[in-house]
Amino acid sequence: MRKKLIIGNWKMHGTLPFVAEYLGALLQGFSPIKHADMVLLPPYVFLADTAKHLKETPIKWGAQNLAAEKAGAYTGEISGEMLAEFGCHYVIVGHSERRTLYHETDVEVFQKLTRAQEAGLTPILCVGESLTEREQELTFATLDRQLALLLQADVQKLEKTVIAYEPIWAIGTGKTASPEQVQAVHAYIRAKITAINADLANKICIIYGGSVKANNAKTLLAMNDIDGALVGGASLNPQEFLEIYRCS
């Protein structure tokens, strides 16, 4: 059976006092669930503090982005190796905010995925259609395009990857995709992987993101192919994030 994975993406939120208060509250309310892992993705500058608080706990942490290059003259960038030094286990690649606001292409996203794996990190590859694409029935075509490089690569790249389906129209909008809509997309993604390697398809973790809250997590996480949640806004409240984790 696949474990559930509940990931909190803080985006560009927080302060040092917030981190201390948040992690204190989280650890106070946290009791590990055997079949579910919890992961926090704070901004880079809070990774050291996060690591200090979480290092003796089962909660893992990671980052929201990494450089497409290994090292060198790339002012302002952070490499996968640097993240690994801070004890990161996971890193997001291809979040729709990066694709839209910073014009990251599928090729760049795949480079980042490769860099993450080289550094021993598990990439969380975000895919998902815009509202226009959904309305024009281009959801599956969009996913095909976003997954093409991953599915053409060697199987090893698939092995240590989390796929996060995040329909853009559901992110930060309060409009959650229905459990049935999400299930249909996740089943589609898993079927594509089955065509390459059935055993791997059975193991790969496909999570959903887009306005996941404590009040909708249970029905989403109950679906067959929804292996977890990538939580933005609601992960900023430790009590709500704990409640989502408990829905696993």
Work out whether strand 60-63 and strand 36-41 pair parallel, antiparallel, or are unpaired: parallel
Choosing from 65, 117, 183, 211, the residue that interacts with ligand PGA (CB under 6 A) is 211
The interface with ligand PGA within residues 133-172 (CB under 6 A) comprises: 166, 171-172
By the rule CB under 6 A, 47 interacts with ligand PGA: no
| Run of H or E including 25 | helix 16-29
Q: For residues 59 and 29, is the Cβ–Cβ distance under 8 A?
A: no
Nearby residues of 75 by Cβ (< 8 Å), 6 or more positions away: none
The CB-of-162 to ligand PGA minimum distance in angstroms stands at: 12
Nearer to ligand PGA, 40 or 212 (CB): 212
Distance CA 213, CA 197 (A): 33
Q: Which residues are catalytic?
A: 95, 166
Nearer to ligand PGA, 147 or 234 (CB): 234
Nearer to ligand PGA, 68 or 231 (CB): 231
User: Distance between terminal CA atoms of the chain?
Assistant: 13
Distance CA 163, CA 125 (A): 5
The CB-of-197 to ligand PGA minimum distance in angstroms stands at: 27
Choosing from 66, 116, 231, 247, the residue that interacts with ligand PGA (CB under 6 A) is 231
Interface residues toward ligand PGA, by CB under 6 A:
9, 166, 171-172, 209-212, 230-234
